[in-house]
Amino acid sequence: MDLFTRAREWAAQDPDSETRAELEDLLTRAMNDDDAGQAAALQQLEDAFSGPLVFGTAGLRAALGPGPNRMNRVVVRSAAAGLAAHALNLADGAYAPRAVVGFDARRNSRIFAEETAAIFTAAGLQTFLMPSELPTPVLAYAVRALECEVGVMVTASHNPPEDNGYKVYLGGRAVEDNARGVQIVAPHDAQIAEQIAAVTGVRLAESGWNVLPESIETDYVASVTALADGDAYPARDLSIVLTPLHGVGGRTAQQVLASAGFDTVQVVKEQAEPDAAFPTVEFPNPEEPGALDLALAAAADLDADLVLANDPDADRMAAAAKDPATGEWRMLRGDETGALLGLHLAARLGEDEKHDAVFANSVVSSRLLGRIAEASGITHVQTLTGFKWISRVPDLTYGYEEALGYCVAPNLVRDKDGLSAALLLAELAAACKAEGKTLFDLLDELALVHGLHASDQLSVRVGSLGLLGAMMNRLREAPPSSFAGSDVVIAEDLAEGTSLPPTDGLLYVTRDDTRVIIRPSGTEPKLKCYLEVIEPVDSAAELTEAKTTARTRLDAVIRDVEEALGL
């Protein structure tokens, strides 16, 4: 069908006056030979209609705008109808599926959620709608607490301001016990996509869904607050600077911390309220350089003890503290925080509990958690990248991934939760302060026991997704024989699924235990390289030199990876 005809037909069915007007304007400019912006308008139009968006294990995520390759009400309506059909297929008449829908404060999140609730209700699902803009962990909590078969969170998490997304959970009677309240995996993604493609018309109920009371947030806060162990860890003398990065986690995070006894919490005022424009950051992701500048400046002015930051939907958590070795504030790497939380949770378990406990982290995360678990008599499991895999580990007690995701209470939230993780890290930091120590002292103690685990990343952005395959093929055809002067002794193609389920990636381990993992990003035209070196440390006096040596080794590994990739 002619592009212009497709665009006109889309505009005719679009219920949103804003995206309809945007599309009509593009059509006008693309058809006007005298318009200097004709080529640009035509390019935008072609891109908008190059879809449809692929519904995958991350659901949907894209820029807002008209057309099948954007997030808009037409696309979301079809997604909701397809998801409802999938839920009914899973039920197969044995029960009436239950669903809960949440939303953040991004543009159109509320209307996407409300129309999803209306479509679910019309399809015969018993549907609950969150009462207001709330964090993703509250929605993930509600999926389990309300025993729902389906959960939808309308959010683009830490994506740019122009984006929105549609994250899907399954639970209740639809899946096995360890997958209840976890994000979807195959084959559900493909099956939902088939149902979406089969949608020919969408019916919206005018009423009939249940708007949950505000107590759903209160219930979540009470459940998370109960995680704090005030008997074993009574210290609460801790000055905290908190930033929600213009997202929806600020109020809930403050309630959690205050309920647990942390009263000295200063919120970064410029970033305290939800704002879909994210005006003070270039990119609303705490991992990005500059995102925590305001929080770090506030912490320095207040002489605070700890900075806690959540991404806009609060499923991730970043932390920063003043490093006594340099006197400078710095953000902890995700692997450092993951190890500290693992150490803390292991210490909180009784000896009998440790025998039944399971720790897990993704293959690209540090090996240090495995050593902590082994030393504590706790089972450790390594998974593929992503919380959809970590969260469904049977009998999971604690799981994390290096990208600032932590699951400290899988019985409450079977996903990463930046709010509960913030509480337990605050508990640990306060206990350290009471003993005259810091979080960095704990990291040094871990290095003395298990060796200094130092990690880094190299991201290679390319012009198109097709180039990623070419780069991976280059490595498969000419695999590197060494990194930083140490011979490769293990070379595993993760696509062959030897130690893990098949996934596109390459793993190398050298004679000196340096590890390199290279894989394509699942969401961007980017090749991601995860690097880790382990430097033995025999005494505290060797720590400074060990850190310098580890950094030198990492830099050498980065150079060798770049050479192997032909950069």
Tens of pLDDT, residues 444-481? 999 999 999 999 999 988 877 778 888 899 899 999 99
First to last CA, the chain: 42
Confidence band for 101, pLDDT divided at 50, 70 and 90: very high
- Domains in the chain: ranges and CATH: 1-50 (no CATH), 54-213 (3.40.120.10), 236-447 (3.40.120.10), 451-564 (3.30.310.50)
Rounded average pLDDT over 240-258: 98
The mean pLDDT of the chain is 95
Average pLDDT over every residue of 317-327: 95
- The whole-number pLDDT of residue 327 equals 93
pTM: 0.95
- Is residue 522's pLDDT more than 80? no
Position 200 scores a pLDDT of 93
Identity of the residue numbered 546: A
Mean pLDDT of 214-218: 98
**What is the pLDDT, as a whole number, of residue 369?**
98
- Model confidence band, residue 96 (pLDDT cutoffs 50, 70, 90): very high
Question: What is the pLDDT, as a whole number, of residue 498?
Answer: 74
- For residue range 481-498, what is the model confidence (pLDDT) as tens digits? 999 999 999 999 999 877
Q: What is the reported pLDDT for 523?
A: 63
Q: Report the pLDDT value the prediction gives residue 567, as an integer from 0 to 100.
A: 83
Specify the pLDDT at position 500.
Answer: 84
Q: Which of 75-89, 97-111, 461-475 has the lowest mean pLDDT?
A: 461-475
Residues 25-46, mean pLDDT to the nearest whole number: 85
CB of 233 within 8 A of CB of 399? no
pLDDT band at 69 (very low <50, low <70, confident <90, very high): very high
How far from 551 is each of 260, 334, 513, 518, 532, CA to CA, in Å?
38, 17, 15, 19, 10
Given this model, what pLDDT does residue 499 score?
A: 77
Q: 343: part of which helix (H) or strand (E)?
A: helix 334-348
* Secondary structure in 3-state letters for 125-161: CEEEECCCCCCHHHHHHHHHHCCCCEEEEECCCCCCC
For residue 407, is pLDDT > 90? Answer: yes
The SS3 call for residue 51 is coil
Task: Give the confidence band of 220 by pLDDT, cuts at 50, 70, 90.
Answer: very high
Beta strands in 264-327 (DSSP E): 265-267, 306-310, 317-323
Give the model confidence (pLDDT) of 350-390 as tens digits: 999 999 999 999 999 999 999 999 999 999 999 999 999 99
Q: What's the CA gap between 193 and 458, in Å, rounded?
A: 33
DSSP state of 446: H
Q: Is residue 157 over pLDDT 70? A: yes
Q: What is the mean pLDDT of residues 203-221?
A: 98
Q: Does the structure show a pLDDT above 80 at 283? A: yes
Active site residues: 157
Alpha-carbon dihedral sign for residues 139, 61, 174, 99? positive
* DSSP structure class, residue 270: G
pLDDT tier for residue 33 given thresholds of 50, 70 and 90: low
Give me the pLDDT at residue 402, please: 96
Mean pLDDT of 531-546: 96
Residue 419 has pLDDT above 70, yes or no: yes
Residues ≥6 apart with Cβ < 8 Å to 239: 264, 266, 302, 303, 304, 305, 306
Backbone angles phi, psi at 315, to 5 degrees: -90, -10
The amino acid sitting at 307 is: V
